[in-house]
Amino acid sequence: MNNTVDEKIGLNINEAANLMGISKNLMSELVKYPDFPCIKFKRRIVINKKMLQEWFDRNSGRFFV
């Protein structure tokens, strides 16, 4: 079985940033929002790949400060 990003349900910061076409620093800021679809285990952050698309669709047009 291949272990590619397409098959994973959880992404790390770098993978999610690459998927969205944004910087690692910006993704690190987005995970701080309470409604962002991620789980935090101490210093490890896992982003739900399916919910990331839904979150993006739901927040398109919103301005984050």
45 domain-assigned: yes
Give me the domain span that covers residue 21: 10-59
Two structure tokens written together for 40: 């935090």
52 pLDDT higher than 70: yes
65 domain-assigned: no
40 domain-assigned: yes
d(CA 25, CA 3): 25
Two structure tokens written together for 11: 């992404």
pLDDT confidence tier of residue 64, bands split at 50, 70 and 90: confident
- The count of domains in the chain is 1
The answer to whether 37 and 31 are in contact (CB under 8 A) is no
15 pLDDT higher than 80: yes
5 domain-assigned: no
3 domain-assigned: no
d(CA 57, CA 14): 20
29 domain-assigned: yes
4 domain-assigned: no
